[in-house]
Amino acid sequence: MQPTLVNTKANQIEKKDFLTINEYTTDEILYLLNEAVTMKKLQKEGKPHRYLEGKVLGMIFEKSSTRTRVSFEVGMLQLGGNALFLSSNDIQLGRGETTHDTAKVLSRYVDGLMIRTFSHSTIEEFATNATVPVINGLTNEHHPCQVLADLLTILEHKGTLKGLKMCFIGDGSNNMSHSLIEGAVKVGMHISVASPEGFEPDTTVWEKAKVTASITGSNIEFSTDPVKMIKEADVVITDVWSSMGQENEAKDRLLKFANYQVNKQLTSYARNNYIFLHCLPAHRGEEVTEEIIDGPHSVVFDEAENRLHAQKAILKALMETK
């Protein structure tokens, strides 16, 4: 289903970087979603949309990736530009050169930087010192590109965002939870989060979201009870229980998250027409059963495709000559 455009007062993005959802206004998020809708329509119709002719995106990967790398590379090519893959092991950053120096040097060569790293402070330091736009491809604390694609997918399948209930089941302290919380309240969605004790969302993220929710009319709630949180949900989302860098905690997490698996029994409490999202890769049989991820409610592959369209919207907004 082709999503419809959403009302927004924004006709461009004034921001230099795309580091978190929270840094963008509601109108700016809706503007990016409209741009993504347009990008998808142009591609499906086979119409050229080479807004970044001759531009180059440098992509630094300290964390490995499938969807992030391919979607950004393909996106830049379709926009008329080029993308350079830069593994941290292959550049001087991995041999001790400072983030400060790397950001300043790369800014002389490329027109934008996408970075997939561990600490969010690393990407903030890049943005402070770079003179070109910096895009957060993922940090331990935030995953804004993924969540923009998630919002696009929800809009595509539900026809609206405002007033819908989104439920995240899993590790509330991870990057997906944080960016989903920020994204939901920005567009007027209600969000509930269910996590075991000790895996609550970051306090700063939560408090800022509550302020935004008071403006947009969103409800925001947390509980250790997944049944309570998933009731009447229009959108159900989960993520892996152990992310990159947490491998040594995997066995312990399996025990703590055992009651948070998204399965047929748990989703019976959601709305009959709920949709299921997962950013992938999924650990089938752990956080979600195959019956759900491959079932009629799942839109995970539409969601994965929408990374391409959402990121093209971000790239155009930040890198197109204005």
Per-residue pLDDT, 134: 98
Q: Which residues are catalytic?
A: 116, 143, 146, 239, 279, 307
CB of 155 closer than 8 Å to CB of 3:
yes
CA 56, CA 52: separation in Å to the nearest integer? 8
Per-residue pLDDT, 94: 66
CB of 123 closer than 8 Å to CB of 134:
yes
Higher-confidence position of 219 and 321 = 219
Q: 3-class secondary structure for 246-291? A: CHHHHHHHHHHCHHHCECHHHHCCCCCCCEEEECCCCCECCCECHH
SS3 158: helix
Per-residue pLDDT, 322: 72
Binding-site residue set for L-ornithine: 175, 239, 243-244
Condensed to tens digits (0 to 9), the pLDDT of residues 47-92 reads 999 999 999 999 999 998 999 999 999 999 999 999 999 998 888 8
**CB neighbour list of residue 18: distance below 8 Å, 6 or more residues apart:** 24, 133, 134, 135, 136, 144, 145, 314, 318
CA 123, CA 130: separation in Å to the nearest integer? 10
**DSSP state, 102?**
H
- Average pLDDT value over all residues in the chain: 95
pTM for this structure?
0.97
Quickly state the pLDDT bin for 22 (edges 50, 70, 90). very high
Structure tokens at 173: 């302290």
CA 145, CA 140: separation in Å to the nearest integer? 13
CA 79, CA 315: separation in Å to the nearest integer? 9
CB of 237 closer than 8 Å to CB of 168:
yes
Tell me the helix, strand and coil percentages in the chain, rounded to 5: 45, 15, 40
Per-residue pLDDT, 4: 74
SS3 48: coil
Condensed to tens digits (0 to 9), the pLDDT of residues 81-102 reads 999 999 988 888 867 889 999 9
Per-residue pLDDT, 162: 97
Condensed to tens digits (0 to 9), the pLDDT of residues 113-170 reads 999 999 999 999 999 999 999 999 999 999 999 999 999 999 999 999 999 999 999 9
Strands 112-116 and 134-138: parallel
CA 138, CA 146: separation in Å to the nearest integer? 8
pLDDT at 244 > cutoff 80: no
Condensed to tens digits (0 to 9), the pLDDT of residues 170-203 reads 999 999 999 999 999 999 999 999 999 999 999 9
Share of the chain above pLDDT 90, in %: 90
CA angle centred on 135, ends 235 and 185, rounded to 5°: 30
CA angle centred on 21, ends 225 and 275, rounded to 5°: 50
pLDDT at 1 > cutoff 80: no
pLDDT at 247 > cutoff 80: no
pLDDT at 307 > cutoff 70: yes
Across 17-35, average pLDDT: 97
Domains of the chain: 17-142+306-319 (3.40.50.1370), 144-303 (3.40.50.1370)
Quickly state the pLDDT bin for 245 (edges 50, 70, 90). low
